[in-house]
Amino acid sequence: MDIKNWKAGATLALMVGLAATVAACSSDTVGPSTDAGSDATGDDAADAASDAAETSTDSGAATDSGTSADSDAATDSATTADAADGADATDSATADAGSVADCLSSTSDFDAIFTLQDSSKCLVGQYSVAATGLAGLTWGRHGGPLGLDSSTATSPTIVRYQVPAAATGAITTTKQALTPPSLPSTVYWGSQAVDLPFFGWTAIAYTGSGTAFPGELLLTDASSNLTRYDVNGLFDMNAVGLSGGRLLYTGLSPIGTTTSATNTGALYAADACGSASSSPRLVPNGDATCKAPAAISSWQSGSSGPVTKDVAENVFAILMTYGASQELRGFEASTIAHDAAPTAGDTLATLTGGGSELAADGKSLYFQPDDASTYAALDVVAIDYTVNAATKKLTAATPRGFLKLVKAGTAASLVTDTSGRLWVVVAKPGSTTESWMFVVRSKNP
């Protein structure tokens, strides 16, 4: 798949709606294609806007019942309860009982793409998948990567990547095609599908054209029933399950039941209201006990960037200034949970250039920046961080080298699973139809 158009709609909204300040440029990446035989062709009218900014994130909510890439028990799988309710606030990651013995002895394919600069880590899994352009992946409740194939604008497809039980092998897919009625003539789908840890919902979003670039957040269940909310320029999203659940996203307005005129780049929140069996929703709908969706914080000239979380539901977000710097902030879990008040968070780093991939494992953030001038993907860096539960503050060390690119410009998708293992996804060298999914973990977790 041609890696373009990945978040053209949100990009266009930021470029026009925010004028001088928009999201930083990245590596021209699209959402995942699951075409096993030929590249999907999602490039259309959105190409004109595709080179300005793209971002990704990880997420999902699954419970770990194994050691995802260990040779003896490879795949994380959701519990029976999760399959029914989409995970909930009580779900938590199971500690990985692996050891240095799980490190793969042969890493020739990995070494052809990356040099691992962290001696405490090793490769513990390697999988092939018949798809390309795999960006914006999140972690799904099924216990594997989750993506969105939007190559057919009128029928976006949620793609669940099924991980085999061994540490190596081929990944298969299951798909859920949606046919949302009454879409506008111009639709720029985001790259993500995100499993919310409440109501059994999976979230996708699009941005359209027009004043403030109105779009929609679409929430679907396993039967493809849709709940829809208006939102302007939704760029990147994630969700937490603490205290009942909250959707978090960067964009231009709060979500609502009518089109909004708000055109302010920020990190926004929408809390879960009702219950899975009684009026599940993200807006008060007359319920005084339910908070209205609102901005959490705006910084760095109020533009947009990626949102991710770690296994403890600490949240991290980047807001960017086009052609300039970007600021990474962290939010301690209790300060960003359901019903929490707006908060500025803690500044963890100021980075140059753009960036499309951000993931967190509970100890470190992993980020692939782009060259500020050429937008080519650069080496993946790690940013170690600590969380002080007493003061509810996060602090971070200086970014350090983590994955050095053997071939300059190689774009990677980064996502962590519920045990904090880092999945690194790249196009297979020499192939136009396949990608590699590598799993990296501490030697002695």
Residue at 1 is within a domain = no
C-beta of residue 206 within 8 angstroms of C-beta of residue 189: yes
Q: For 396-417, how does the pLDDT look when each residue is reduced to its tens digit (9 = 90+)?
A: 999 999 999 999 999 999 999 9
Instruction: Specify the CATH number for the domain of residue 327.
Output: 2.120.10
Give the start-end residues of each E strand in 361-421. 364-370, 380-388, 393-396, 400-405, 413-416
Residue at 3 is within a domain = no
Q: Identify the CA nearest to 47 among candidates 96, 11, 87.
A: 11
Helix, strand, or coil here: 119? coil
Total domains, the chain = 1
pLDDT at 96: 52
Strand partners of residue 126: 168, 438
CB proximity list for 136: less than 8 A, separation 6 or greater: 6, 7, 29, 31, 32, 56, 57, 147, 148, 190, 191, 192, 413
Residue for token digits 């799993």?
Answer: 439
pLDDT in tens, the chain (445 residues): 333 333 433 343 344 333 333 333 333 333 444 443 333 333 333 333 333 333 333 333 333 333 333 433 333 333 333 333 444 433 434 445 567 888 998 788 999 999 999 999 999 999 999 999 899 999 999 999 999 999 999 999 999 999 999 999 999 999 999 999 999 999 999 999 999 999 999 999 999 988 888 999 999 999 999 999 999 999 999 999 988 999 999 999 999 999 999 999 999 999 999 999 999 999 999 999 999 999 999 998 778 899 999 999 999 999 987 666 789 999 999 999 999 999 999 999 998 777 778 999 999 999 998 888 888 999 999 999 999 999 999 999 999 999 999 999 999 999 999 999 999 999 999 899 999 999 999 998 7
Helix, strand, or coil here: 322? coil
Whole-Å CA distances, 159 to 85, 112, 204, 277 = 19, 28, 12, 26
Helix, strand, or coil here: 15? helix
pLDDT at 270: 98
Q: Cα Rg for the chain, rounded, in angstroms?
A: 20
Rounded-to-integer distance, Cα 225 and Cα 283, Å: 18
Residue at 2 is within a domain = no
Residue at 325 is within a domain = yes
Residue at 203 is within a domain = yes
pLDDT at 24: 33
pLDDT at 391: 97
Residue at 269 is within a domain = yes
Token code pair at residue 12: 């266009």
Instruction: Write out the residue range of the structural domain in which residue 266 sits.
Output: 8-442
Q: Which residues of 235-253 are buried (b: 16+ CB within 10 A; e: fewer)?
A: bbbbbbbbebbbbbbbbbb
Question: What is the phi-psi region of residue 72: left when phi exceeds 0, alpha when psi lies from -120 to 50, beta otherwise?
Answer: alpha
- Provide the whole-model pTM: 0.81
Rounded-to-integer distance, Cα 422 and Cα 12, Å: 31
Residue at 141 is within a domain = yes
Residue at 365 is within a domain = yes
Write the DSSP assignment of 148-210 as a string of letters.
EE-SSTTS-EEEEEEPPSSSEEEEEEEEEE---SS--SS-EE-S--EE-SSTT-EEEEEE-SS
C-beta of residue 41 within 8 angstroms of C-beta of residue 151: yes
pLDDT at 175: 97
Rounded-to-integer distance, Cα 193 and Cα 288, Å: 30
Q: For 21-39, how does the pLDDT look when each residue is reduced to its tens digit (9 = 90+)?
A: 333 333 333 344 444 333 3
Q: Identify the CA nearest to 428 among candidates 408, 403, 410, 416.
A: 410
